[in-house]
Amino acid sequence: MLIVALPGGARLAAGLAQSLRCDWTELALHSFPDGETLVRIDAAVKGRCVVLAGSLNQPDSKTLPLLFAADAARELGASQVGLAAPYLAYMRQDRRFNAGEAVTSRSYARLLSTSLDFLVTVDPHLHRWHSLQELYPIRTRAVASAPAIARWLQDHVKAPLVVGPDEESEQWVSDVAHRAGAPWTVMAKTRHGDHDVAVRAKDAGPWTGRTPVLLDDIVSTGRTLLAATQALKEAGLAAPLCICVHALFDADALWRLLGAGVSGVISCDAIAHASNAISLVPALAEAVREMAGDMPARPTDDFQPSAGNVIAP
């Protein structure tokens, strides 16, 4: 196997290669003055399973190099070409919310599937789509972050109450809470615009003595967790700890949350961010190994993201 790091994917590629005992290289990129891009794989690929590695946040600039690299690997004789993308882009546009809009989750799946044999990702945003197979005709594997998050909660939080900011989050919240042996609840969210979100509590407890932990799959603007934090405060609960799987975090999201009086912010390392504290690399490596065929894996429990601290105000 050969792991090829997509733009921004070097750390993930190195972690996967360490776990899978294989080589990795960074995809070489050259931008021409006219804005076009040349990609080059600086390693032998003939007869190897080539796995492109990198999260697809900021997807528009990453997707063409990904497709070019996948085609190059295939033309150069790769036995199969896979993608390990912990964050899979465009999943939230899962219907035509307004007349004339594109359903980009479907278009993006069609695009990637033309060049790949398999896809491994983490907790894709499945809401109106119920599985990746509805969208992707290639082999897919969705790795769950819940076991790693639940272990972290057991090690770091006394008597947690796991809270989801909206009904969609129930799938992650209930799984994490069940594994951590904690109670859970979800709130009700109405989104009026990118930065305009209202959240209200649906269930008042009793939650005495519990530490609220707000859990969402994605933080982008932070408005969802901000509104949820305010609703928890109004319900008389303590300042929540915020945990997310995919730390998209726009430039101000972290400061918005810290300014709203949360007790801390942490994330999984699906997207590299200062809040990364929970590593998903071992689970991803295992999924890649299974998708690529039989390859002996090295035990990888010792792999940790570099920034392991809770970010607190």
Which of 3/231 has CB closer to ligand R5P?
A: 231
> CA-to-CA distance for 216 and 226, rounded, in angstroms?
12
One of 222, 240, 282, 305 touching ligand R5P (CB under 6 A): 222
Number of residues that bind ligand R5P (CB under 6 A): 14
d(CA 245, CA 225): 13
C-alpha–C-alpha distance, residues 122 and 286, integer Å: 12
Handedness of CA 129, 132, 134, 135 (dihedral sign): positive
- Rounded to a whole number of angstroms, the minimum distance from the CB of residue 175 to ligand R5P is 15
Output 219 or 283, the one with its CB closest to ligand R5P: 219
Among 84, 162, 173, 219, interactor with ligand R5P by CB under 6 A: 219
104: enclosing H helix or E strand:
helix 104-113
| Range in contact with ligand R5P (rule: CB under 6 A) among 103-111, 116-124, 153-161, 165-173 | 165-173
Interacting residue with ligand R5P among 94, 117, 216, 269 (CB under 6 A) = 216
Task: Tell me whether residue 140 or residue 224 sits nearer to ligand R5P (CB atom).
Answer: 224
From candidates 143, 217, 228, 276, binder to ligand R5P by CB under 6 A = 217
- Residue whose structure tokens are 């949360």: 262
Window 237-276: contact mask with ligand R5P (x via CB under 6 A): ----------------------------------------
Window 42-101: residues binding ligand R5P (CB under 6 A): 92
Q: Exposed e or buried b for every residue in 181-216, given b needs 16+ CB within 10 A?
A: ebebbbbebeeeeeeebebebeeeeebeebbbbbbb
Instruction: Annotate 3-18 with DSSP letters as a single string.
Output: EEEPTT-HHHHHHHHH
Stretch that binds ligand R5P, among 20-28, 133-141, 154-162, 220-228 (CB under 6 A): 220-228
Q: Can you name the residues that pair with 198 across neighbouring β-strands?
A: 190
Minimum distance, C-beta of residue 4 to ligand R5P, in the bound complex (Å):
29
| Segment near ligand R5P (CB under 6 A); pick from 106-114, 214-222, 231-239, 276-284 | 214-222
Q: How many CA atoms lie within 13 A of 193 on its CB side?
A: 2
Binding site for ligand R5P (CB under 6 A): 92, 165-166, 168, 197, 216-224
